[in-house]
Amino acid sequence: MEITAETEHIEIRLLLEAIYLKYGYDFRSYAEASISRRIKRNMRLNGCPHISELQHRILHDARAFQQLMTDLSVSVTEMFRNPDFYQSLRQQIVPGLLQIPFVKIWCAGCASGEEVYSLAILLKEEGVTQQLQIYATDINESALQIAEKGIYPLDKVKEYTSNYHRINGRGDFVDYYTALYDNAVMRSGLKRNITFAHHNMVTDGSFGEMNLILCRNVMIYFNRDLQNRVFQLFCDSLIPGGFLCLGSRETIQYANCANQFDPVNVHEKIYRKKFPCPGL
């Protein structure tokens, strides 16, 4: 029997509810079109004909759930993705960070870590190294393990090197990794100021007193209510004058807390949390 769109919608909602009740991960407010594509991909890979059957599997097999988690939380990333953004970061944010005695940065939804290492390289080249702490967090434990190891396929390095040159890197990208067989291993010095940690933006609390938060190409997968919740989380985590960086297809313009931010670079989606008005 053909599954109607209404029935499929119900099955997806039931699956997401089951995940939340069984494992505590809340995907119920993710954009349904995106979550549906990822669920169906997992079903095809595992020869699962119906969503209801997938629900039964993940409730009774933790390994099946972990595989689904990887599909649900996968993100497309690369080093120095959107080089113009990193140029703007260098020119419009880094000079201010150099004036701060201790810099705290949160890279939220860091996935497999390419963006974190890109940021670490840029900050190292600009001299923001001595008093620096970067918190790199994600919901996906498998992706976090990759990020913490910092090991990437060597065949991607050509693209990463090209991006590095496009941001006008100060040195040679090869100085930041060691080639080992078919992999590139990021140098241990880049990890010195990075803490990798599991964090669920949907259910977990804020990181306090951040000077800079990067959450790029994650919010596009959330519906409007969840976006508002996460934007408020970021607002609560930033100090006045702190910066928020989003992905190219994202904006804080329509968020409930939008009036607490000023645009720094509208094209590159960089915003700054306002200072409180005197006397308030």
- Whole-structure pTM value: 0.86
Q: Work out the pLDDT band at 8, boundaries 50, 70, 90.
A: confident
> For the chain, where do the domains classified as CATH 3.40.50.150 start and end?
83-273
User: Once rounded to an integer, what is the mean pLDDT over residues 5-15?
Assistant: 89
Strand boundaries in the chain, DSSP class E? 103-108, 132-138, 151-153, 177-180, 183-186, 194-198, 210-215, 238-246, 261-265, 270-273
CA atoms within 13 A of residue 49's CA, in its CB half-sphere: 3
What is the distance, to the nearest Å, from the Cα of residue 122 to the centroid of all Cα atoms in its chain?
A: 18
Residues 223-233 have pLDDT tens digits of: 888 899 999 99
Among 29, 15, 13, smallest CA distance to 203 is for: 29
Mean pLDDT across the stretch 200-210? 85
C-alpha 142/C-alpha 130 separation (Å) is 30
Q: Which CATH architecture has domain 83-273?
A: 3-Layer(aba) Sandwich (3.40)
Q: How confident is the model at residue 2 (pLDDT cuts 50, 70, 90)?
A: low
pLDDT digits (tens, 9 = 90+) for 244-269: 999 988 999 999 999 999 999 999 99
- Looking at beta carbons, which pairs linking 184-187 to residues 24 or more positions away fall under 8 Å? 184/151, 184/152, 184/153, 184/154, 184/156, 184/157, 185/149, 185/150, 185/151, 186/117, 186/150, 186/151, 186/152
What type of residue sits at position 176? Y
pLDDT, tens only, 147-172: 999 999 999 999 999 999 999 999 99
